[in-house]
Amino acid sequence: MAMRPSRIAPADLLDRKYANIAAVTSIVLSLLGAAALVTCMIVIEEMSGLAAAYLATWVVLLAIVIAAGAAVLRGQTWGLQFSLIYYIVVAAGSLVLAAWALMPDGAKWWPAQWVPVATVLVPVLCGAGGAAVLFVLASAAGSRLRYASIVAVTIGAAVTLVVVMNLAAQSELKPISMETSGLYGPSGRMERILRSLSTQVRLTCAYTAADKKGKKLSRKHGPRTLEFLEDLAARSDNVVVVDACSDVAKAQVIARLRGQLGDKATKHKEFLGQFVVSGGTVAEGLSKEAQQWESLSEAAYLDLWGMSIAVPRRLRELAEKAQKVRDKVDGELTGSGLPDHAALADEAKGSLEETQRDLEQIARLLRQMAEIPIKVTENHKATLKKTQDCVAAASEMARTIGTPDKPRPSNPSSVLGRFITASRETARRARLTAKALGDIGGVQNADLVRTSTVWQFQLPIDSRLVARTTVDHAYRLLAERISEMVLDAEGLIKAAKKEYQAQAIVQMRPQVVQLARSFRDAHEAAQRAAPSLMTVDEQTRKVFNQAENDLTFKALLKTVEDLLQQAKDLPKLKTSTLTTDITADNIVIIEADKKVQVVEFDAVWPVRRPSLGLAPAAAEDTEQQRAFNGNAGIGSKILSMTSKPFATVLLTYYQLPPQLQRMAQPAEIDPRELSTLRRRLTEANFLVKEWNVAEPMPKVQDDQPQTRVLLVLPPPSPAPMSMGRGQPQFGAEHVSKIRQAVDSGIHAIFLTHFFRPRRMSFFGPPTQPRYGLSEYLEEDWGIEALTGYLVVPAVPDEQPGKFRVSIPRLGYLPLNNFSDHPIGKPLQTQRVLWGVLCPIRAVDSPPKGVSIQPLLSVPAHWHDTWATPRFMALIEQFNASESNQVTPEYASGDMPAPFDVAVAAKRGTNSSATTLPGRTRPTTTQATTAGEAHQVKPARIVVLGMGRSLTDDYLAQPVRIQDLDRTIRDYDPPRANSDVVVNSVYWLIGRENYIAAGPATHFVLIGETVRIVLAIIFVAALPLAVLVAGATVMVVRRR
Amino acid sequence: MTTRKTLVVARRELAGYFFSPVAYVIGAAFLAGSAFVFFFGLDLFGIPLFNAVLKRGGEAALRPLFEVMAYIMIFAAPLLTMRLMSEEFSSGTIETLITAPITDTEVVVGKFLGVMGFYGVLLASTLVFLALMAGFGRADPGVAVTGYIGMLLLGAAFLSVGLLASTLTNYQIVAAITGIAILAVFGVLMQLIVRHAVPPWNSVAAKLNAMTYFKDFSRGVLNTRGLVFFLSATALFLFLSVKTLESRRWR
């Protein structure tokens, strides 16, 4: 394009007539535009600095355009070139913006205040377009300037057309996914969840944008998660996606959520605001009180209890704590994070309650203390008289037995008799004195008096032992000691010879003298303590006066009480982990119906091979292999936020009370082993509860889903004869409960599997345990669970027609031959692995009204897989073999393929059992009264012969598999196993449209050696071959 | 514009590639680069840019392969196209072309089809990776089909950019650098803006980011926005190439 400016145009470059018209038009348009902009700048008062600068730039640009127009009038071509480009750009820009504004998505881009600006786009487009045409005409026909002008216009038009076409393509037209694995896009179930949305759901992707140490994962995971969310938005108008991968964007989201959550907790916000103001006052007040207490240095009376040190210390602690909580609340409320109003209110309330409790306790103590001097003044004389009497009695007691320097008594029994009488009197007096001393400060204040320092007393028990006790308790101890001596003396009189009595008296004399001395010491201690307790110093008097008039901490307590009253009136907020969850990196925030939830990174990207806790420390730096689980992780949250749980799944099992469990047979599947399955069911929008059939069925609350589904675990087998006699066991009454539940229209899934033979007595051989529900299933549904048959997966042997079974391969069978039944069809492409399977067989003539359909079968052409009832024989064969694999002989009784391992059954209203006049079957009738009318409602059941493969061992742990090269390696757990149960529940409750499968993740299976060889070929050899070919061609051509 | 003349030019250009050492070098580098990432992945200063595709226990997905090939094309496309017009300008053979009974559009489209043919051969050679994935994992046929459609569309757009760069200068190396710079803006710079800028600029950048559209194809999604983006970009840059070539007549 010719853009070389020339100061003066050659005469043949410009068409003077059109040049003048174009220049004048341009000048007029520019002046109008500048006038409009200046008017805007004057009229709009609250214009931001940025907007003002933007408008000013336009005014300057327009001034240049006016100058360019003037140049054209003077015959200068640069003015034409500049003006032409300017008007092409303005016309193209206004056309693009106008088209954008018309797009359904484009409207969202226009801030409300820009809408008036949008209306001027049409006149701007017309004006600029017209001016551009005039400037093209202004160039002389056939001149280079005319060519350049036309090229500029056509390029401008082409670029505009391309931009508008792309804008149009951005919106509305739905993408077509040709992917078959479901790895990247929304699953069928997710699509249904999106279709059922009636409320707007905002999905905010807040994945860490930049790499940080230990967060290398987010590089690929963030974009892929965002891409998935955008796919959801493309499929539903109710889904809005916000990209908050930068820190700034995440802060904006948190700020918005702050406002949103604050609106839901207005009362809490009010209280916390008040707490921030008054909490500071409380802390200050506590500090002031502490200072005042510290100044009571001369309050000797209070110091009897250490109050002048303990009280200010505690007050300072309370002040610090109150200030700390107040600062925390203030920080959370004014900070940039998401405040947890409920938790903050609880913390503030806790701090206030603690302050109130301690202040009230101190005030109460002071009131009690104030009574003590009065009471002691009243009681001390009488009490000290008693202590004096005790001293006299003790002296008498010592006199009766004699002092240690006296010779052996000649009549010891008489001495002992007198000693006993005197001792009894002394002990009696000591007890009375103890009581009087205890109550010296008033009966209510006995404990308080005991804690005073003056009431503490060192009581010498004997020459070595000294007990630290209170004065009143000392008398009790002395009384007890005397009583012991009386007992000894009585024993001596009754049983000892005279010689021995005399010797004993000599030994007792020093002890009795010590006791008498102790009475004197105790009396002196009481004498010393009484005046201290009676005499109150001036400072203490003032404190006591305040306490007696209930003025202690009055103002502080009033403030605290007011705040606590406000806290008591707060409405209950749902406890949530949102505030902590939202601080995590790599999260998806879901907002729907004023609810906010966070989907954590691990929920969207679970670790493919969970660590068994044995990973080396170095592994922390390496990237963990994760699988995308967005459909389940995000879909389930959306579902639970926008709809109530579809049904209650009752995990049905039989368990004895804990005290009887020791004697019972272990359950084939413990309910605690199903935590992964429970989580999957919860994610699929079911409420999971438990029902121990030994107890009544749990009632469903009004706010819980009324539709119930039983997930029946295999009951424990009967206990061995020698152990289980008399123990309660799973039996007819429990079967009857399950039958009644199903007959009342509750659907059920029965989990079963191959039961390993067990010893039923100490000496007998292992026998096959019985499946407690086999008769029920056979009689009511025509389904046989062959729990005595183990499905044996084998591999073809070198010998034709024979198959090898290895111990490592016995634990899993990769069987996904699902039928077209709604439960199984989506799983036909999934990776599933089963273990300890048992066949499930439909009887030839099922009960009328019952229809049975297979779900999963071992196909007829799987000659290497069969079911055998001879498990023990197989084990013996392994035991006899030197290797871990055997080639078993096929025997009669073995069940060849095809056979089913899972079936689904329906029973309609025309069932033969619709109205049963009481059941007469021998095993299950005990709990059913004969002749009792029994209404049977339509029901559905699913019987799965792979129950063992649904436990945590299978679903959450790596699977150890023997590869074809016989190497044992760990593989990802078969997560799709649990989909069988989830899909079954959906089918049972009639929500087939939610049945789906997770992504069909396939993994590369290649040996390292093969991989290296291939890498060398493709990275080096093949490109080298291309280079050699090129070189050969060159050489040949040169010849 | 006649198809026959266009095809004659295209055939001549395609044959020219097979006699050009540079094309073999670029082809070998393209294959080696793709294979390297396919087997070993790519780290930059410890940051994993691409994960290895054929790795034991790895996800059997072709998407990373397509994405790395798309990034390789940022460099490969201008290198393939740099000689298309620049060589004609520098050697003077452009005068013959201009005076020949053939329009500028036929010249540009013919040369574009020629380089597309060579690109098609290059792309076909990567089918071996698809075969490997099918053998050792499970290649999703839907992703394979859309991935190759995406690679063709992206290649067409990138090659048209390279062609425009080649019409702008007489020097092949300048043409290559110019083409790489333009493609880097739409393939790398926009990606960085998408990651680090705040709304709405990251959204605007996402609309201009060629890799955003290509990612739809690489994960098995056929999207009109991607189709329109690549086809319109191809048409626009070819149009600009024609206009640039035309300008030589009247400049």
pLDDT of A244: 80
CA distance B47 to chain A (A): 7
- Residue A787: partners with Cβ closer than 8 Å, 6 or more residues away: A714, A752, A753, A754, A755, A768, A769, A771, A774, A838
Secondary structure letter of residue A684 according to DSSP? T
Task: Tell me which residue in B59, B142, B202 faces A178 most closely, judged by beta carbons.
Answer: B142
Cα atoms in the Cβ-side hemisphere of radius 13 Å centred on B237: 25
Q: Give the residue among A598, A641, A604, A634 at the shortest CA–CA distance from A200.
A: A641
Q: Give the residue among A335, A987, A982, A1002 at the shortest CA–CA distance from A678.
A: A982
Q: Measured between beta carbons, which residues in chain A are less than 8 angstroms from residue B18?
A: 1033
Q: Give the residue among A182, A190, A184 at the shortest CA–CA distance from A684.
A: A190
Residue B137: closest CA among chain A residues belongs to which residue?
Answer: A1004
Do A333 and A339 touch, CB atoms closer than 8 A?
A: yes
- Are B32 and A627 within 8 A, CB to CB? no
Residue B250: closest CA among chain A residues belongs to which residue?
Answer: A144
A·B CB contacts under 8 A? 204
CA distance A302 to A566: 35
Burial of A322 (0-12, 13-18, 19+ CB in 10 A): buried
Task: Tell me which residue in A109, A166, A183 faces B200 most closely, judged by beta carbons.
Answer: A109
How far lies A369's CA from each of A374, A526, B12, in Å? Answer: 10, 18, 114
pLDDT of A5: 44
Residue B122: closest CA among chain A residues belongs to which residue?
Answer: A1026
Question: Which residue out of B44, B56, B161 would a mutagenesis test of the A interface target, given it has the greatest number of A Cβ atoms within 10 Å?
Answer: B56
Distance of CA A62 to the CA centre of its chain: 61
- Are B196 and A177 within 8 A, CB to CB? no
Side chain identity at A335, as an amino acid letter?
G
Residue A178: closest CA among chain B residues belongs to which residue?
Answer: B142
Q: Percentages helix, strand, coil for chain B, rounded to the nearest 5?
A: 80, 5, 15
Q: Is B164 or A870 the better-scoring residue by pLDDT?
A: B164
Q: Measured between beta carbons, which residues in chain A are less than 8 angstroms from residue B219?
A: 179, 183-185, 227
Side chain identity at A176, as an amino acid letter?
I
CA angle A522, A523, A526 (to 5 degrees): 85
Task: Tell me which residue in B21, B199, B243 faces A151 most closely, judged by beta carbons.
Answer: B243
Q: Give the residue among A289, A370, A311 at the shortest CA–CA distance from A541.
A: A370
DSSP output for A839-892 = -EEE-SSPPTTEEEEEEEEE-TT-TTEEEES-HHHHHHHHHH-SSSEE-PPP-B
Q: 3-state class of B15 per DSSP?
A: helix
Task: Tell me which residue in A154, A216, A1008 faces B56 most closely, judged by beta carbons.
Answer: A1008
- Paired tokens of B2: 């006649």
DSSP output for B75-109 = HHHHHHHHHHHHHHHHHSHHHHHHHSS--HHHHHH
Torsion from C-alpha of A965, A969, A973, A974, nearest 10 degrees: 0
Which residue intervals of A103-243 are DSSP H helices?
115-119, 121-138, 144-170, 188-195, 218-235
- Are A1002 and B138 within 8 A, CB to CB? yes
pLDDT tens profile B4-62: 888 988 999 899 888 888 889 988 998 898 899 888 887 776 666 777 888 776 677 78
pLDDT along chain A (1039 residues), means of 10: 45 78 92 89 79 88 92 87 90 83 63 67 86 87 81 89 85 67 74 86 78 50 82 84 76 77 79 89 91 79 85 92 91 78 88 93 91 91 92 92 87 91 93 92 88 84 72 90 91 88 90 90 90 88 89 90 89 70 81 82 70 37 65 83 88 80 72 88 88 87 82 82 62 90 92 84 72 91 92 79 76 85 82 88 89 92 86 81 74 86 85 44 40 70 92 81 67 81 92 72 73 89 90 84
Burial of A343 (0-12, 13-18, 19+ CB in 10 A): middle
- Paired tokens of A801: 């027609």
CA distance B199 to chain A (A): 8
Do A149 and A19 touch, CB atoms closer than 8 A?
A: no
- Paired tokens of B125: 């050679």
pLDDT tens profile B213-238: 998 898 888 888 899 999 999 999 99
Q: Give the residue among A693, A801, A682, A806 at the shortest CA–CA distance from A741.
A: A693
- Are B24 and A1014 within 8 A, CB to CB? no
CA distance A175 to chain B (A): 5
Question: Which residue out of B223, B240, B242 would a mutagenesis test of the A interface target, given it has the greatest number of A Cβ atoms within 10 Å?
Answer: B223
- Are B142 and A173 within 8 A, CB to CB? no
Q: Give the residue among A560, A561, A568 at the shortest CA–CA distance from A321.
A: A560
Beta-strand relationship, A939-944 and A747-751: parallel
Do B60 and A1002 touch, CB atoms closer than 8 A?
A: yes
CA distance B25 to chain A (A): 6
CA distance B247 to chain A (A): 6
Consecutive H or E run containing A69: helix A49-73
Side chain identity at A682, as an amino acid letter?
T
- Residue A868: partners with Cβ closer than 8 Å, 6 or more residues away: A789, A790, A792, A874, A888, A891, A893, A894, A895
CA distance A930 to A928: 6
CA angle A1018, A1019, A1021 (to 5 degrees): 65
Q: Measured between beta carbons, which residues in chain A are less than 8 angstroms from residue B36?
A: 1019
CA distance A153 to A455: 109
Question: Which residue out of B126, B127, B211, B228 would a mutagenesis test of the A interface target, given it has the greatest number of A Cβ atoms within 10 Å?
Answer: B228
CA distance A772 to A716: 8
Beta-strand relationship, A959-962 and A968-971: antiparallel
- Are A1002 and B203 within 8 A, CB to CB? no
- Residue A867: partners with Cβ closer than 8 Å, 6 or more residues away: A786, A789, A790, A791, A792, A838, A839, A894, A895, A899
Question: Which residue out of A97, A103, A184 would a mutagenesis test of the B interface target, given it has the greatest number of B Cβ atoms within 10 Å?
Answer: A184
- Paired tokens of B123: 């792309």
Backbone angles phi, psi at A308, to 5 degrees: -70, -10
How far lies B204's CA from each of A94, A224, A252, in Å? Answer: 17, 19, 19
Question: Which residue out of B47, B140, B194 would a mutagenesis test of the A interface target, given it has the greatest number of A Cβ atoms within 10 Å?
Answer: B140
CA distance A269 to A595: 18
Q: Measured between beta carbons, which residues in chain B are less than 8 angstroms from residue A246?
A: 196-198, 202
pLDDT of A932: 47
- Are B199 and A2 within 8 A, CB to CB? no
CA distance B54 to chain A (A): 7
Task: Tell me which residue in B28, B138, B243 faces A155 most closely, judged by beta carbons.
Answer: B243
CA distance A665 to A530: 72
Token match 């992945």: residue? B41
- Are B195 and A209 within 8 A, CB to CB? yes
* pTM, full prediction: 0.62
Q: What mean pLDDT value characterizes chain B?
A: 87
CA distance B241 to chain A (A): 11
Residue A211: closest CA among chain B residues belongs to which residue?
Answer: B47
Radius of gyration of chain A (CA): 47
- Are A219 and B47 within 8 A, CB to CB? yes
CB atoms within 10 A of CB A432: 15
Q: Measured between beta carbons, which residues in chain A are less than 8 angstroms from residue B251?
A: 2, 144
Q: Give the residue among A355, A351, A356 at the shortest CA–CA distance from A325.
A: A351
* Alpha-carbon dihedral sign for residues A307, A311, A312, A313: positive
- Paired tokens of B3: 């198809």
Cα atoms in the Cβ-side hemisphere of radius 13 Å centred on A595: 17
Measured distance between the N- and C-terminal CA atoms of chain B, rounded to whole angstroms: 23
Rounded to 10 deg, the angle between the B21-40 and B127-136 helix axes is: 20
- Are B54 and A176 within 8 A, CB to CB? no
What b/e string do you get for A21-41 counting C-beta neighbours within 10 Å, with b at 16 or more? ebbebbbebbeebbeebeebe
Question: Which residue out of B225, B227, B237 would a mutagenesis test of the A interface target, given it has the greatest number of A Cβ atoms within 10 Å?
Answer: B225
Q: Measured between beta carbons, which residues in chain A are less than 8 angstroms from residue B207?
A: 166, 170
Do A714 and A683 touch, CB atoms closer than 8 A?
A: no
Q: What number of residues does chain B have?
A: 251
Q: Measured between beta carbons, which residues in chain A are less than 8 angstroms from residue B28?
A: 1023-1024, 1026-1027, 1030
CA distance A200 to chain B (A): 21
User: ipTM higher than 0.95?
Assistant: no
CA angle B94, B100, B104 (to 5 degrees): 65
Q: Measured between beta carbons, which residues in chain A are less than 8 angstroms from residue B227?
A: 169
CA distance A1021 to chain B (A): 9
- Are B57 and A1003 within 8 A, CB to CB? yes
- Are A1030 and B54 within 8 A, CB to CB? no
Q: Measured between beta carbons, which residues in chain B are less than 8 angstroms from residue A1003?
A: 57-60, 137
CA distance A192 to chain B (A): 19
Q: Measured between beta carbons, which residues in chain B are less than 8 angstroms from residue A166?
A: 207, 225, 228-229, 232
